[in-house]
Amino acid sequence: MSSRALKDELVRLLVPPTEPWAVPAPDEIARWYGTPLPSDFLWLMERYGPGLVSDYLGILPPVAEGATGEVHGVGPCAIEPMEGWEGIEPEYLVHGGLYGWGCNPDGDGTFWSTTGAPDEWRVVVCRRHHGPSEPAWTRYDCGIVEFLVRTFQGRLPHNPFSGTDLWGNASPTFAREAW
């Protein structure tokens, strides 16, 4: 599916707010982070803004330089290896190897693996609650818009989250949140 078709499908599935969110300029965001953020995420912020999807998945905003870590927002992070957390890739263990962009009440985290150019960053989910034969960490070969569409349609290899609130959800909702 093309980028435009994915965006159209997301708007069809997840009705956006009537008022656009005032996204900082892409060059300003790039200055804050030292890198641009993926263009599909910037589109998502323009169309939806930060908020809660079906009162389950919090999507965080880009935050101003110096505010990373002080307010909730997209930010670079590194993961500490823990026993039983199979699937941790080497790039996840270095600061900036992952950028967190969301979370849910089950303790799952959503990230981008920052390998390659920003539009090549892939979604990574850490499921806090998973079966003994399931990995805690899963990388999906897609960006955030495609990831959301495929989650709502139940078209990923498996439910990416600990809960079932979004998996196969034919009528997800969105509420803007000021994090």
**What pTM was computed for the model?**
0.89
What mean pLDDT is predicted for residues 20-48?
A: 94
Tens of pLDDT, residue by residue over 50-61, are 999 999 999 999
pLDDT at 32 over 80: yes
Question: CA 143, CA 39: separation in Å to the nearest integer?
Answer: 9
Question: CA 166, CA 151: separation in Å to the nearest integer?
Answer: 6
pLDDT value at residue 177? 85
pLDDT at 90 over 80: no
Q: What is the CATH number of domain 3-65+72-174?
A: 3.40.1580
Q: How confident is the model at residue 95 (pLDDT cuts 50, 70, 90)?
A: low
Q: How confident is the model at residue 105 (pLDDT cuts 50, 70, 90)?
A: very high
- Which residue shows structure tokens 């997301």? 10
Question: CA 159, CA 35: separation in Å to the nearest integer?
Answer: 30
